[in-house]
């Protein structure tokens, strides 16, 4: 899902939650966007590059070629949610971060399902390492596969 869609979801959810949770609704709203910072990590690990323009192009190529692709987004994993849940026991405001992440992930998952690729991103780091041998996991593999088809 693109940054604009997440920006709208973040703003709308913050406005809806504000009357109930006050400023803490902003933690939720920011988390809805900040979760996607893990895409910078995946982009860097795969390409050794940084930068928003390259990341957006990278993401666009991958989204159009999700057949046989398996992605890992660290903040979109069960392990991340478990860490946030445990931290929430000590710092309860972290639950707003967890809720924002889960809300975002739910919307991502609905979109992936509509694209008929609900399992294109691993739900867990452990799952990723188990499944990855059967899938493309880098942009080079995806681009090689495209050039073979041409
Ligand atoms: Zn996302």
Contact between 108 and 88 (Cβ < 8 Å): no
Contact between 77 and 122 (Cβ < 8 Å): yes
Confidence (pLDDT) at 17 = 96
CA of 150 to the centre of ligand 1 (A): 31
Scan for tokens 């869609």, then name that residue: 5
Confidence (pLDDT) at 2 = 81
Residues 26-78 pLDDT 10s:
999 999 999 999 999 999 999 999 999 999 999 999 999 998 999 999 999 99
Confidence (pLDDT) at 3 = 83
CA of 105 to the centre of ligand 1 (A): 6
CA of 21 to the centre of ligand 1 (A): 24
CA of 73 to the centre of ligand 1 (A): 8
- Interior/surface letters 75-103, b for 16+ CB within 10 angstroms, e for the rest: bbbeebbeebeeebeeeeebbbbbbbbbb
Confidence (pLDDT) at 146 = 86
CA of 104 to the centre of ligand 1 (A): 6
Angle at alpha carbon of residue 112, lines to 109 and 116, rounded to 5°: 130
**Number of domains, the chain:** 1
Owning domain of residue 36: 3-149
d(CA 114, CA 5): 15
CA of 131 to the centre of ligand 1 (A): 20
If one compares 150 and 139, the residue with the highest pLDDT of the two is 139
């Amino acid at each position: 899902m693109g940054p604009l869609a997440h920006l709208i979801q973040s703003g709308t959810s913050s406005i809806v939650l504000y009357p109930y949770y006050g400023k803490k609704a902003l933690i939720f709203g920011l988390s809805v966007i900040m979760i996607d910072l893990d895409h910078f990590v995946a982009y860097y690990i795969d390409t050794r590059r940084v930068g928003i323009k390259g990341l957006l192009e990278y993401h666009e190529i991958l989204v159009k070629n999700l057949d046989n692709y398996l992605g890992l987004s660290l903040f979109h994993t069960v392990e991340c949610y478990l860490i946030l849940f445990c931290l929430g026991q000590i710092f309860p405001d972290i639950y707003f971060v967890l809720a924002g992440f889960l809300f975002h992930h739910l919307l991502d998952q609905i979109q992936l399902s509509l694209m008929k690729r609900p399992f294109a991103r691993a739900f867990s780091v452990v799952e990723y390492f188990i499944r990855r041998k059967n899938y493309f996991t880098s942009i080079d593999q995806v681009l090689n596969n495209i050039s073979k088809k041409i």
